[in-house]
Amino acid sequence: MASRTRTIRIDGLTRVEGHGSVYVKVAGGRVVDAELRLFEAPRLFEALLAGRQFTEAPDITARICGICPVAYQMSACQAMEDACAVTIPEPLRELRRLLYCGEWIESHTLHIYLLHAPDFLGFADGITMARDHGEAVRRGLALKQVGNEIVTVLGGREIHPINVRVGGFYRVPTRAELAGLRERLPRARDAALETVRWVAGFEFPEAQLDCELVALRHPTEYPMNAGRLASTAGLDIPVAEIESRIEEEHLRYTNALHARLKERGAYLTGPLARYALNAERLSPMARAAAADAGLGAVCRNPYEAIVVRAVEVLHACEEAIRIIDAYEAPDRPAIAVPPPSHPAVGKGCTEAPRGMLYHRYDVGPDGLITAARIVPPTSQNQRVIEQDLRAAVERSLALPRADLERTCENVVRCYDPCISCATHFLRLELDET
């Protein structure tokens, strides 16, 4: 019997951040190739950082992404402070967590309401969905706006904040400036709780990821900007050892490097991983909402990542309230950070909305960056996305072509890929024989 080849090509993935495509080749009823092709032009940020002052890295790398610039600033600052052997005082690290809460709220809420929910409710896009689910979308936009306001107050403006520096901030807010935010946060928290309940009511396809889940873990905090790198398979290393355990390689079909754990293979970073490794560190209301949503101790269904994102938004609202309530303006907005006295290497790792973001810089005594390495979350998640695509297509081969293409797009959107970050990605091609 002649075998049949089918090719699925999705040439322009929609409702993802940036530009990419999917190519799937099926032969004899089995998926032979499943490729996530991130064709956004390479951004070359690591090269252009060479020769710049170490103090410039937070603002330069923030330009990698309009959705998660804070994550870049946080990992860059942490790495430079490591290179210069300084530790910022706890009140400044708390303020950085508050800024990060704003970005988590903005980024997750945008993905939940405008990019991902249409998949579960059967709409082509968020605009069409808004005509039938106006109340929900209005709630989402109001919640996102509170995230924007946090970023504006702490970061100076809502996109590409400009107030973060190595050593702290250029300016810290007064208690009065935070009071306005504080007034709006209880309503945002209520909207976040309602978001968890809304998405928990969606119907989720059956799927289970069997990969290793990797995230920062901290003794007491749900991780944002501190902790060791841990996994569901027992990995537990300091940030300084990340490069000895994670390797990247260039594949011909994608402009983003593929990452894997040495001798272990594909792994997933992001909300599912953070939750699996840190659920007990969630704020009380977020922990209760997760339980009510039926998440369990570990969630390995990628479709349910939308529920975990909603739980993380609720956590971020509660965390923001906690930080503001305890806030006393620090004596000074930043500590002095002189360049290292000898060539030094600095490493930083924080939890961007999409997962862990690692930076490493080599810095000379003149303060100039001599080498830079940036490992963004989407780059790390590509292998797992491809494995999931392969499994989803094999489960769905009997579906008509249009449904199969939709299935592939739905799979990719579960991971909220940020292609602009990863190419420092989507088109679907299905090839079947």
Partner 1 sequence: MRGLVIGLGSADRGDDGAGLEAANALARLVPEDVAVRSLPGREITLLDHWTDAPLVIVIDAVVSGAVPGTVHLVDVSAGRLRLGTPPGSSHAFGLAEVIELGRALGRLPERLIVLGIEAADCRAGAAVSGPVRAGLREAIRMALAEVGGS
- Binding residues vs partner 1 (CB under 8 A): 12-19, 66-67, 110, 114-115, 124-128, 130-131, 134, 137-138, 141, 145, 148, 158-160, 419-420
Q: What minimum distance in Å lies between the beta carbon of 160 and partner 1?
A: 8
Q: What minimum distance in Å lies between the beta carbon of 128 and partner 1?
A: 8
43: left (phi over 0), alpha (psi -120 to 50) or beta: alpha
Nearer to partner 1, 145 or 410 (CB): 145
- The Cα–Cα gap between 151 and 160 comes to 9
Nearer to partner 1, 109 or 232 (CB): 109
Of 54, 53, 73, 57, residue with least CA distance to 65: 73
DSSP characters over 190-231: HHHHHHHHHHHTS--------SEEEEEE-SSSPSSS--EEEE
Name the 3-class secondary structure at 154: helix
Nearer to partner 1, 59 or 82 (CB): 59
Place of tokens 């369990």: 296
Q: What minimum distance in Å lies between the beta carbon of 14 and partner 1?
A: 5
How far, in whole angstroms, is CA 278 from its chain's centroid?
16
Q: What minimum distance in Å lies between the beta carbon of 312 and partner 1?
A: 18
* Contact of 281 with 221, CB cutoff 8 Å: yes
The residues, any chain, with a CB within 8 Å of residue 413's CB and separated by 6 or more, are: 15, 16, 115, 116, 119
Q: What minimum distance in Å lies between the beta carbon of 271 and partner 1?
A: 18
* Contact of 29 with 16, CB cutoff 8 Å: no
- The Cα–Cα gap between 202 and 323 comes to 32
Nearer to partner 1, 82 or 106 (CB): 106
| The two three-digit tokens of residue 17, written as one number | 């951040």
Q: What minimum distance in Å lies between the beta carbon of 38 and partner 1?
A: 12
Q: What minimum distance in Å lies between the beta carbon of 153 and partner 1?
A: 15
Nearer to partner 1, 141 or 391 (CB): 141
Integer-rounded Cα radius of gyration of the chain: 21
Nearer to partner 1, 7 or 145 (CB): 145
Nearer to partner 1, 134 or 365 (CB): 134
Amino acid making up residue 303: Y
Nearer to partner 1, 68 or 84 (CB): 68
Q: What minimum distance in Å lies between the beta carbon of 11 and partner 1?
A: 10
Name the 3-class secondary structure at 360: strand
| The two three-digit tokens of residue 1, written as one number | 């019997």
How far, in whole angstroms, is CA 152 from its chain's centroid?
20
